[in-house]
Amino acid sequence: MKKAEFVKAVSGSSGTELTLRDLEKIVDTAFQEMGRAVSVNGRFVWPGFGTFTVKERAARQGRNPRTGETMSVDASRTVSFKPAPTLKGSL
């Protein structure tokens, strides 16, 4: 689903008289705040949907898929998602 499709779906099920542009701003703000919460607090929980957490990846040895040559991959941080049982059960 693309962003525009998501905004239209929310618009159709919200029952409000917001314009698509206003609703898009609300959706953008919600996702920005979710990202900020993960960045600042290390996690964001939405009951019934799931949990986003910061995950540390250790440095490791990898391979260049084109040449097969061994290379080092630096340590990094990424966002991990664990679905809530409700979401997982609906799949």
Task: List pLDDT tens digits, range 32-79.
Answer: 999 999 999 999 999 999 999 999 999 999 999 999 999 999 999 999
CA distances from 89 to 6, 30, 62 (A): 22, 25, 35
Domains of the chain in sequence order:
33-58+76-91 (4.10.520.10)
- Dihedral of CA atoms 21, 41, 73, 62 in degrees, nearest 10, equals -80
| Burial environment of residue 75 by CB neighbours within 10 A (0 to 12, 13 to 18, 19 or more) | exposed
Residues 6 or more apart in contact with residue 24 via CB below 8 angstroms: 3, 7
Q: Is the pTM of this model over 0.75?
A: no
